[in-house]
Amino acid sequence: MTIALPRRAALLGAAATLATPAVHAQEGPIRIGEINSYSAQPAFLTPYRNAWMMAQDEVNAAGGINGRRIETVFRDDGGRPEDAVRHAGELVNNERVALLSGGFLSNVGLAVADFANQNRRLYVASEPLTDALVWARGNRFTFRLRPSTYMQCAMLVEEAAKLPARRWATVAPNYEYGQSAVRWFKELLTRAKPDVQFVAEQFPALGRIDAGATVQALAGANPEGIFNVTFGADLTNFVRQGSTRGLFERRSVVSLLTGEPEYLDPLGDEAPEGWIVTGYPWEELNTEGHTRFRENYRRRFNTHPRLGSVVAYDTVSAIVGMLRKSGGTETDAMIEAMRGLTFPTAFGEAEVEFRAIDHQSTLGAYIGRTALRRGRGVMVDWRYADGRNYLPTDEVVRTLRPQG
């Protein structure tokens, strides 16, 4: 990588002469504690860690934060909330990190958020999608990057409401993320089409789906539409069994996350066609910012970025923007800098903002349909759904979120 960085890298690594309080290089690096389910969710989190290091290296090559390098201490929680909390304590007390970040599974993210609240430490959650993270269990110290289950369900319901399907069934992993997604899809679709019926629900254990039995139960209810929330290996098994048994024939399928290459690529030529999905059309997204990000990633890692890559890169972008704005690493100052913070995204779309009222970012998602091209699944007919258009009003948020 050359020192003459492109404009996107320059946004991350802008000159240290900006009007912020002086922080001297001899104070040492700014350390970030990053906790994630690396061994439990490698399809998402290997590309995530790659892009995190790429972003960090770009920042440091451009002079860091007013001369201070950023440095990340990574920990693997294995998908277990208790391990994530243990790592958080060790990172804060022994590694002396300035803030915590990361999180993939919603139950793990909630555990780290609770730790952050009790120990008065900033937590920038990158991936956990549960709405509780910023609403019912939201706290002063926790901020979240990705569009939540509510936001993505609202995006999907816009399209689902146009379908003729009246009888719906749902399938989702049986933990906080899956339960939250099903709850919001049912509520939002019922608001949009009061005559819909939900005729079946399946909640298989995460990572242990009995796909044959699940498909049989759904087919037995004879739905006209299916809302799917499974991902990873569970999604692969569900698609294979559903295709073999004809579950998807003449039925509409609306599916959360399935358009993300982490989950679409492993299906190969078995990828379903015509599903309405949220995802990431990395190959066709040619905004100036994304083209630069995609090519830099491919040069460095000899593969294309996944959505995890975008999430990590944008998380670092947000942290760097916050540190420049705060002028230091005092927790209260960092929190105030996060509230209302705007920063560029690797998607190359409009700048993203962390809302002051609930600490949710306005990052959006891509909505489209799945198709087969050259023996692999892709997204077609896609559009960017700006997150700010799929969030409740301040008045509603005040009823959902505790004070503070």
**Which CA distances in Å does 144 have to 78, 126, 147, 342?**
21, 6, 8, 13
Over the stretch 293-323, which tens digit does the pLDDT of each residue have?
Answer: 999 999 999 999 999 999 999 999 999 999 9
List strand residue ranges (DSSP E) for 237-375, in order: 252-259, 276-279, 342-343, 352-353, 365-373
Sheet with 365-373, strands from edge to edge, namely 197-202, 167-171, 225-228, 252-259, 276-279, 365-373, 376-385
Domains of the chain: 7-147+286-363 (3.40.50.2300), 150-284+365-395 (3.40.50.2300)
User: What's at 350, amino acid-wise?
Assistant: A
What per-residue confidence (pLDDT) applies to 99? 98
Please calculate the CA angle 343-345-351 and round it to the nearest 5 degrees.
50
Coil, strand, or helix at residue 386?
A: coil
Coil, strand, or helix at residue 210?
A: coil
User: How far apart are alpha carbons 237 and 194 in whole angstroms?
Assistant: 33
Over the stretch 51-92, which tens digit does the pLDDT of each residue have?
Answer: 999 999 999 999 999 999 999 999 999 999 999 999 999 999
Spans in the chain with pLDDT lower than 50? 1-26
What per-residue confidence (pLDDT) applies to 58? 98
What per-residue confidence (pLDDT) applies to 192? 97
User: How far apart are alpha carbons 330 and 21 in whole angstroms?
Assistant: 13
Sheet with 142-144, strands from edge to edge, namely 70-76, 30-36, 99-102, 123-125, 142-144
What per-residue confidence (pLDDT) applies to 402? 83
What per-residue confidence (pLDDT) applies to 331? 98
What per-residue confidence (pLDDT) applies to 27? 76
What per-residue confidence (pLDDT) applies to 404? 57
Token pair belonging to 160? 């689902």
What per-residue confidence (pLDDT) applies to 352? 97
Read off the pTM: 0.91
